[in-house]
Chain A
Amino acid sequence: MKKFAYYDTGHEFPEEIVMAAGFTPYKILGDVNAPNDPADRYIHHYICPFSRSCLTEGMAKSHEWVGIAFCHGCDTTNNQYDIWKRHVKTDFLYWINTPAKNDATAMTYHEHELRRFIAHLETHFKVTVTDDKLKAAIQTSNRIKRLMRELSALRATKDISNTSYHDLTRKCVQMEKNEVIAELEAARERWRNQPPFPPDRIPVLLTGSDITYGAVMEILEAARLRAVRDDLSLGERYFAETIDETIDPVKALVAYHTRIPQPPTRIPFERRLEFLKKCLWETPVSGVVYQILKFCEPHGLDLPFMTGELKKTGKKVIVIEREYTPTMDQQLVSRLESFREIL
């Protein structure tokens, strides 16, 4: 099945629409191992390195994708669409202006945006996206979300490495969906038979910038911290909620996006905080790791308020800023080890 790529700095993109159109949604996640030089010709070095990596991937790989869609996310996404339009070769580049709010007006508008996207897909690719196809896609998507919830829950009780979990979350947004289901079912069997949660590991809640490569997870592992809960887009934000299968599918998608753990690009930020508190209440964790990718503005803006609120829960919180690099940052490891000592 042909891949349809999307650039989304949260979990805004309606994968189900692309699935109903007969394509495999592919989330552009960049490649931390590849230098950003191609993108640096067009974007300043003080702008999100992840976004530059995505542009680098876009310029190199767009021929593998039938089209690309952007969702309104952080300022980085919003402003870089124009650069992609100039420098990434594709026959179909589309902008979905997902709203920054979740109220009734925003939901009406969001529905319009999704229907418009469907119409453009139908016209350009000469396909028909029926309600039945959408409902089938939603069912597939929900199946993945339920499986991921089961797998995610095992993190707190079994010996599941941070990297193993992260690998699955990446597959969810990049692989063909039926293959994902097979992978997840196989993983469920393996994970159920894993030894119990190791006593030398400390369970933590992981939040902050989206983690798009495994090295960050390895840093946590090296510090003997296990992320047993999170609110990341490659993580629980993606599967914490399921999509209503009983109502109009487009309306269901709109409603779904208001219920998920909110990304920092949406307001009000209480919704995100509520989810994090719920994680702390549901799962025994020893502390919170709040990591921020350098130059990540939405999380930088949320940080003082969110960390203050999280500390009020009585949990210890560590804030770390990380570079966009595949290398194991030993300074971060040391800091996290020290953090572990105080937990």
Chain B
Amino acid sequence: MIKLTRFIWNNPGLFAKGVKGYLNQPVTPRLAQIILQYLNQTKLTVLQPWKRFGVFSAGFPTEIPAAMGYFPGYPEAYAALTGTAGCTVPPIEHAESLGYGRDLCSYMKTSIGACRMGWPEDFGGNRVADAYFSANLVCDTHLKWFEGEARLHGKPHFALDVPNLVAGESDERLEEYVDYVEAQFYDMIAFLEKETGKPFNEKKFFEIVNDSAEICRLFRELFEYRKRFPANAYFEWVRMFMLPMVSQWNQKDAIRYYSKELKKAQKRYKDQTSIEGGREKYRVLWEGITLWYNADLYQKVLAERGAYVVCEPYTYSFAGRSKPKGSLKETLRQMARDQIIVPFTLNLDRRIAYFNSLVEAFDLDGVILHANQSCRPSSTGLFDLQEALQKKWGIPVLMMNTDHCDPRAYAEGPMTTRIDGFVELMEAYVRRKGEGGPPSPENMKIKGGV
């Protein structure tokens, strides 16, 4: 709270902007409460020396450190929230003044800049952790970023090296990778035992794995309701709604919350495919990280044109945790599989097949591919993906060149013009679909940067 007070004192204008940004998010009071609870609990760990504060990269299997008492701190979540507040530019520029290049991950720069400026978690910073944990299942940035932070603060760092299951690799190959990741899980257990001075708490581990699987199951089930007409929820909501699943903090509460939301959806739709309001004019898939600083893109720019994001592999990627198996070994092996095959990091062959299935399952009318200037892994392969989708479906694809957390990369005027063009193409596509004619791949793409 001291950090927050100091932040408000030093940056009253920015704080006001941040509050406005937070209030612009389509969150319910209950979700806002959950988010605030998470942020406050992060801060309170300072006053709870019996708790260990861990800092984790997105997607890291937190269940193992959590079983040893580590609270899951997520710099990317803090940075994302700072993005929704519209306050990432000052920390990003601060990080750039330290030597981090303009094209490097804007999550990382938001976090590093905010930490160095002493900003609170609500605005991207985070306290020094007792240990740092990162994996390269998404990107190498995670390894280097957390290693750097650990070195800076003289704290231990555990790195999880997750192999890339490249295109064409077999299930046999996957199991070889699972062997390697499993071996590292045992290394992590040894690391945690050394750090905490306690034996691994297997019972607690199974309980946590069970709960995280349940959270993911509920999220996946809710995700299914987005296939209905109208979709149960849109991206601008889901990206906030996923926080309890991403953070895996207070799992019992998350299960209660998600269960209630699922019951609401069940009551809303019963067994009907379409309910009052009917199908959206245009149903869109979003590929890549969301534009955290730009909720209005979804809830105004696209929505005013009748386009809604009903599906995004990004949020679904956090919902892949499985139930525990009969033994520690088998559970760890399953966790390893869940780490290697994630929608967000699929190889190109699998990615194309996955997207083809989504086009049908969600009855999509258009696809937005986020060519993210500071996220190489999610940007690579987009041209091939675009071509494959257009070849098979003739579906309009908008390549959106911008950044997930750096609003400097978003040019509203040119982007809106391109969105208008995209919507026109969707109109033609929907009309052809309605006529039952074959989709035409011609003139179905918009390319280029802003």
Contact = CB atoms under 8 A, between A and B. Distances in A.
Does chain A bind chain B? yes
Interface of A: 41-47, 70, 72, 74-76, 78-83, 85-86, 95, 97, 99-101, 103, 105-106, 108-109, 112, 116, 264-265, 267-269, 292, 294-295, 297-298, 300-305, 307, 319, 321
Contact of A304 (B99, B168, B176, B347): B99
Interface in B381-411: 381-384, 401
Interface string B125-139: 000000000001001
Interface in B26-58: none
Contacts of B184: 105
Interface residues of B, number: 48
B353 interface: no
B34 to A, nearest CB: 33
Contacts of A108: 183
B80 interface: no
A76 B103 CA distance: 14
Contact of B167 (A47, A74, A81, A303): A81
A72 B164 CA distance: 8
Nearest to A103: B187
A76 B376 contact: yes
A44 B288 CA distance: 15
Contact of B140 (A44, A45, A297): A297
Given A74-B140, A80-B380, A292-B101, A109 B183 contact: yes
Contacts of A79: 164, 376-377, 380-381
B163 interface: yes
B382 to A, nearest CB: 7
B180 A100 contact: no
Contact of A307 (B99, B147, B401): B99
B143 A100 contact: yes
A200 B166 CA distance: 51
Interface of B: 98-101, 103-104, 136, 139-141, 143-145, 147-148, 151-152, 157, 159, 161, 163-164, 166-169, 176-177, 179-180, 183-184, 187, 347-349, 371, 373, 376-377, 379-384, 401, 449
A85 B74 CA distance: 35
B279 to A, nearest CB: 34
Contacts of B349: 82
A300 B180 CA distance: 28
A109 B143 CA distance: 19
B159 A267 contact: yes
A75 B183 contact: no
19 contacts: A44-B401, A72-B163, A75-B141, A75-B380, A82-B167, A83-B381, A97-B163, A112-B180, A268-B147, A269-B144, A292-B101, A294-B103, A297-B141, A301-B104, A301-B140, A301-B141, A301-B144, A304-B148, A305-B152
A300 B103 contact: yes
A75 B187 contact: no
Given A298-B144, A303-B99, A303-B100, A97 B177 contact: yes
Contacts of B383: 41-44
Given A79-B380, A86-B348, A267-B143, 5 more contacts: A78-B166, A85-B168, A95-B164, A97-B163, A301-B144
Contacts of A300: 100-101, 103-104
